[in-house]
Structure 1
């Protein structure tokens, strides 16, 4: 069996560390100016838009894109540093994050030139929010089973069907959606899927937010009722979008967001136990930090592969699987450690409030971006086991 799996040891160069300090200073200014509150359960839409404009002015949206489309052709490693600092500081990046991470690169690679010229500058300016339309109510993360249809008509296509667990759809301007344009064949179950750029303001689209148990409405169900799209909105090859989709997911599944979503719980824990000399707490915390460091090294390695022009689909799936399982379990691990504390010695009230939020958030983590079962199937295929 020939296994091509590898994680090269990649170190962030010195100029990335200089950039890290620049981002930290910027975020500190944003908090002082009241643009956002890093302890808030969620951020208002106006604050999200205001923050996106400020990030755009710094040149940190599309920073790794070609200059011909408004990018700066900076490295994936530099982008990684910016993303990491934003996540740790709980910055309100929702307005531009998906577009910067994966939708923009997908358009650059596969979209028609009129679409590139019209849409990419909107992303760079922090004025276009994207969502991803893949999962469906009756098939979940099994994209081969997608049934939402795109039917060819004069001058374009008509969309009908539904997508679900669509993050940010209620505020999105565009969706990159996967629709069935013909039936799969016996020889190729992947055949028949096509990617489209969907204008989320088009007639016939209905978005229904799904409230999570922590009170945040992040996911949505999106219904398409005879939605018209012009021909230029086809992204890439008709009936051959599966390779595009897997390439796109390499961007989505490998970043620091896959193991830093509940990091705020650890920060609250560190504040609660500051100055402790309890060896049990120190040992438990050290173990968690060592695990976090390992996943970060793997994630940085994938960023290095993307920088080199590779498509590390299997490696990205491993990062996503390990990262989200760890991220999901972190609140429980911290609750176990906090039970060892002397409550008379430490103030744990603020910690309890943050822990409640992250505990309620955690269940979604192994669903978004592909379930653990789907990811492990991809890894098995990459290792030649299926």
Structure 2
């Protein structure tokens, strides 16, 4: 089946611009209080629980969720504005971001009522952190090749196997993971996977941090050895998680975080060249800003589709593919343009430090959330090309 691609030209309504001013004022107060430095790249393994709670107090977590679960029944476009401002400011969002963006909507749709009533309000208050258990050794982003096994036992399931590249597992309270509950079939290799809510304090779970060249420990290996998951932690249809995971990825792959992760080097370059850039710098910055604006319009459009109750999986994959390639290349483009920046520029040292960090962290950007190759396979299938 061929998908009809749509990127409607959605404009943010007035309430979004009012909200933007509120978020900027809040972040300015946090910066003034020393919570974080906007000119330093956000260390993604930084855990900032008090900041997370203050964001929750402002009503900016679970924004689109029903009020009965602690949500605020606001729009996806309003949530988009909050995400955008947090990313531009390099705010420490690690503790709450995955729970708010991705895990909460999964629980809303598939979790038993008592689990919703327990966990969702805590997400909205900024009290819990979630990780996503998808990738495995030797299968990478090929979700349907997962081998970590869930075996039925009295009252639940025993989990054995390994997940890898699991962001934030070392600080997570919960994980939403996909485990194999039945073999795949010749007719459908997607069959046999089931989604589970995992309490990370469960005996039999060991988290091994994976060091990165930046000095971070954002990623982890998670080993399960007879870890018991109760029956009420099964999310949705047994053996049918592929249907659920596909729609989940529309939330994960389309937000502004998919092209703003190295944005700070662009703003620092603009500061360095000053109000009167030479022709070369002006032309280079102009191209980058034009590309950024185009991706932002596409991303806002996907947010509008989510608001309308649609599942824009292909469009979200396009945003993630284009966006992560762009943000991966951005530090190198900025480094080229910065070669002619005045050595006496007051922020030259800050720019050099940012570039050093961004160039080291850039390789992961086209891997996390689905590799470029996997994304392009999804796009090709949606366009009827495979």
**Band the TM-score falls in, shorter-chain normalisation:** over 0.9
Say whether the 8 Å CA contact 1:35–1:47 is kept in structure 2.
no
Gap regions ≥5 residues in structure 2? none
Say whether the 8 Å CA contact 1:76–1:307 is kept in structure 2.
yes
Aligned length: 386
CA distance in 2: counterparts of 1:220 and 1:346, whole angstroms: 38
Per-residue CA distance 1:186-242 (angstroms, 9 max, x = gap): 111110000000001111111111111111111111100110011000000000000
Distance 1:127-1:310 versus aligned 2 partners, 3 A rule? same
Corresponding residue number in structure 1 for 2:352: 352
1:368 aligns with 2:374: no
Moved more, 333-342 or 141-150: 333-342
Say whether the 8 Å CA contact 2:5–2:315 is kept in structure 1.
yes
Cα deviation for residue 41 of structure 1 reads 4.7
Moved more, 178-187 or 47-56: 47-56
CA distance in 2: counterparts of 1:72 and 1:373, whole angstroms: 37
1:318 aligns with 2:340: no
Say whether the 8 Å CA contact 1:36–1:47 is kept in structure 2.
no
Task: Map residues 1-386 of structure 1 onto 2, 5 A cutoff.
Answer: 2-42=2-42, 48-343=48-343, 348-386=348-386
CA distance in 2: counterparts of 1:355 and 1:45, whole angstroms: 19
Say whether the 8 Å CA contact 1:184–1:191 is kept in structure 2.
yes
Cα deviation for residue 274 of structure 1 reads 1.2
Say whether the 8 Å CA contact 1:163–1:222 is kept in structure 2.
yes
CA distance in 2: counterparts of 1:50 and 1:27, whole angstroms: 14
Q: CA RMSD in A?
A: 1.5
TM-score by length of 1: 0.97
Distance 1:117-1:311 versus aligned 2 partners, 3 A rule? same
Distance 1:19-1:42 versus aligned 2 partners, 3 A rule? closer
CA distance in 2: counterparts of 1:72 and 1:353, whole angstroms: 39
Distance 1:48-1:305 versus aligned 2 partners, 3 A rule? same
Moved more, 237-246 or 207-216: 207-216
Say whether the 8 Å CA contact 2:150–2:179 is kept in structure 1.
yes
Say whether the 8 Å CA contact 2:206–2:222 is kept in structure 1.
yes
CA distance in 2: counterparts of 1:163 and 1:207, whole angstroms: 10
Say whether the 8 Å CA contact 1:247–1:311 is kept in structure 2.
yes
CA distance in 2: counterparts of 1:335 and 1:54, whole angstroms: 36
Cα deviation for residue 3 of structure 1 reads 4.1
Distance 1:150-1:79 versus aligned 2 partners, 3 A rule? same
TM-score by length of 2: 0.97
Moved more, 62-71 or 372-381: 62-71
CA distance in 1: counterparts of 2:285 and 2:234, whole angstroms: 49
CA distance in 2: counterparts of 1:372 and 1:54, whole angstroms: 35
Say whether the 8 Å CA contact 2:45–2:168 is kept in structure 1.
no
CA distance in 2: counterparts of 1:196 and 1:59, whole angstroms: 28
CA distance in 1: counterparts of 2:289 and 2:44, whole angstroms: 32
Say whether the 8 Å CA contact 2:179–2:195 is kept in structure 1.
yes
CA distance in 2: counterparts of 1:25 and 1:111, whole angstroms: 36
CA distance in 2: counterparts of 1:308 and 1:111, whole angstroms: 22
Say whether the 8 Å CA contact 2:44–2:218 is kept in structure 1.
no
CA distance in 1: counterparts of 2:54 and 2:45, whole angstroms: 14
Per-residue CA distance 1:257-307 (angstroms, 9 max, x = gap): 000000111122112111233011000000000000000000000000000
Gap regions ≥5 residues in structure 1? none
SS in structure 1 opposite 2:289?
helix
SS in structure 1 opposite 2:115?
helix
